[in-house]
Structure 1
Amino acid sequence: MGALRWAGKEVTTLSDESTERPHRFRRERRANVLGGRQHRHIVKVTPEEESLLLAKAQHARVSVPRLLVEAAMADGRETATDRQELAIQLFGAFRLLSALSNNINQMAKATNATGELPDELGVTLAEVRRLAMRIDSLLDGYDAR
């Protein structure tokens, strides 16, 4: 959580570090299917390949088998995990936008009452610009996949 001072009070905002996946979005294994999965494939890899697979799976927060299946089924497109990660990032950006809009509404109310612009308006508007660039980069990264 970041903090801004406005009207003598500390107002909290969300920062980039707050994009940690909420617990409800964490699922490493694939969902169960009716009747189970009858087929199994054994894939042999070198120690270097194993390290790379483990690192990629850990980064995506999925199991190695799920990583392999999603990558194979994606056929060059984004995987379900990629789409979920984008949704999580956009949800975080939406929460930050909500916090910033509350700050701006409070500043507008104070400006209408006093006729003076708050000193913190520039900082808050800079946060809005930073958020807009963050959303643009998320969407650009999604388009590039």
Structure 2
Amino acid sequence: MSEEQKSPRRFTRRRRANIAGDTQYVRVSMSQRERAQLAVLEERTGRSPSEILVSAALYAENSESLAERRAMAVEFMAARRYLAALSNNVNQLARHANATDEFPEAARVVLTRVRAIAERINGMLDSMVR
């Protein structure tokens, strides 16, 4: 078969992360509409059907799925890294301001970014409380 004749695979096979212990299989029946909705979730989240269904079943009463909490953790780690980088800039600007008695224009930009990231973190925390 030539490259032109090969149809691109719409969905690639994905596995859940390795789980401890023996694997148990459960068969789930669903309508074509439900399967289409599940396919949309797979495409949107990049997660396997089994991971989506297991997290929905086990974490439904918490109103947050495992994947949502993982995504939140990733976002918090990214915010923390960004805040650490900004704090280095603030320290350098403070050292410069103390040595020369002038407040650089770049400091205003950095402080604006610090405020923005702090607001982002506050928004993330607020969304966790709801």
Asked whether the two chains share a fold, i.e. TM above 0.5, the reply is yes
- Alignment equivalent of 1:87, drawn from 73, 79, 100: 73
Higher relative contact order (CA 8 A, sep 6+): 1
Structure 1: 5+ residue runs without aligned partners? Answer: 1-26
C-alpha displacement at 1:28, in angstroms? 5.3
Q: How far does residue 103 in structure 1 lie from its aligned partner after superposition?
A: 0.6
Contact 1:28 1:61 in 2 (8 A): no
Question: In structure 1, which of residues 105, 115, 131 is the aligned counterpart of residue 91 of structure 2?
Answer: 105
Structure 2 gaps of 5+ residues are 1-13
2:22 aligns with: 35
Larger radius of gyration: 2
Alignment: residue pair count: 116
Instruction: Give the Cα separation in 2 of the matches to 1:124 and 1:101.
Output: 9
Q: Normalising to structure 2: TM-score of the pair?
A: 0.78
2:44 corresponds to 1:44 = no
Which of the residues 35, 38, 44 maps onto 1:59?
Answer: 44
Identity %: 32
Q: Within 2, Cα distance between the matches of 1:90 and 1:28?
A: 25
Amino acid at match of 2:100: T
Offset, 1:81: 1.4
Aligned to 1:127: 113
| Corresponding residue of 1:10 | none
- Alignment-derived partner of residue 20 in structure 1: none
Shift in Å, 1:111: 0.6
